[in-house]
Structure 1
Amino acid sequence: MKLFYANGFHGTTVDAVLEASGVPKGSFYHHFGSKEAFGLAVLDRYMSLQLELLEAASVASSAATADTLERYFDSLCQLFVDSGYRRGCLAGKFSTELAASSTPFRSQLAGSIATWHDTLAALLEQGQRRGDVRDDLSAGDLAHTVLALVQGAFVIALSSRDPAALAALRVSIRSLVELDR
């Protein structure tokens, strides 16, 4: 993942992956078959980690939904800042680089982002049933908006190296989802 974060998909060579991993070229191609297949496997692993972080923030939590989302996005933001703004959202990076030109990446990205959306929507719907998430918008619409806020904040923070967009993300998500008191 580090090489894709640093260089993008096209800027990362198989030789660089082999050197960083110490894996022989034959083993790499035997297991993955191509750089594209490797990239898709990395994307799959990345999205699995995202869902694990979200589940860890929400599992057996009696906290308000906004607090759960805040905990999740705080962990993502902290990882991003700690990396010197180099490791943001790999799905976002691959989307901008590959979705327009690669059907396999576009398809996997669409599926991965849909799963991320559905997981967020389920958490928000649970909060609506519990009475701590606004219900004048559907959980699905709220999840779409939250993901758009996250992607936008990461792009702005990446460009400016300024955590202000990430801090605004926290406030925006809370004000978006919380039931007016």
Structure 2
Amino acid sequence: MRAFYAVGFHGTTVDAILETSEVPKGSFYHHFGSKEAFARAVLEQYMAFQLDLMGTWADRDDLTTPEKVEGYFDELVSNFVRSGFERACLAGKFSTELAASSDAFRIELNAGFARWKAGLAAMLSAGQENGDIRSDLPAAELATTVLVLLQGGFVLALSDHDDRSLESVRSTLATVLSPPRKRRV
């Protein structure tokens, strides 16, 4: 996974994968068949990690829904900053590198993002029922907005090695998710 973060799919060679994993070439090709199949398996593992992490925050009964979303986001940011601003979102990295050139990978990415959005939508829908997430927009639309903000914030932070764009995303999340305030007349 680190090689894909560091040099991308196209920059990662099968030999580099074999060297770090200490797996014989024949075993690699027997199990995966190709570098693309291996990368799709890595993507599947990465998406499972994201969904598990999000689920950990979603299951917290001691937090409001906005606090759950912010906690999840803060943990993603913390992991990214600890990586030296190098490991943002593997799904985003693969999307920019492979989605246009590989239908199989695009389909896999689309399915992964759909699961991610569905998990966010479930969390936000529960928040709408609790009254701590705005209900004037569908939870699915809010989930898409949250994911777009996350992805965009990490892309900017990757390019400038600065977490200010991520701080902006965090404050925007609160604004986007909060129920509209009633105006005083």
Q: Give the CA deviation at 1:180.
A: 3.6
The percent identity for this pair of structures is 55
Give the aligned length. 181
Q: Give the CA deviation at 1:137.
A: 0.7
Q: Give the CA deviation at 1:169.
A: 1.2
Hey, what does 1:104 align to over in structure 2? 104
Which sections of structure 1, spanning at least 5 residues, go unmatched? Answer: none
Say if 1:61 and 1:68, in contact at 8 Å, map to a contact too. no
**Would you identify which runs of 4 or more consecutive aligned residues in structure 1 move more than 4 Å?**
none
TM-score normalised per structure 1: 0.98
Hey, what does 2:54 align to over in structure 1? 54
Q: Give the CA deviation at 1:139.
A: 0.4
Say if 2:60 and 2:68, in contact at 8 Å, map to a contact too. no
Instruction: Report whether the alignment pairs 1:16 with 2:16.
Output: yes
Give the distance between the partners of 2:60 and 2:72, measured in 1 at CA.
14
Give the distance between the partners of 1:61 and 1:173, measured in 2 at CA.
20
Q: Give the CA deviation at 1:57.
A: 1.0
Once the two structures are overlaid, the 10-residue window that deviates more, 58-67 or 141-150, is: 58-67
Give the distance between the partners of 1:82 and 1:147, measured in 2 at CA.
21
Give the distance between the partners of 1:141 and 1:32, measured in 2 at CA.
36
Residues 45-81 of structure 1, C-alpha deviation per residue, up to 9 Å, x if partnerless? 0000000100111114241111000000101011111
Q: CA RMSD in A?
A: 0.9
Q: Give the CA deviation at 1:168.
A: 1.0
Say if 1:8 and 1:97, in contact at 8 Å, map to a contact too. yes
Hey, what does 1:66 align to over in structure 2? 66
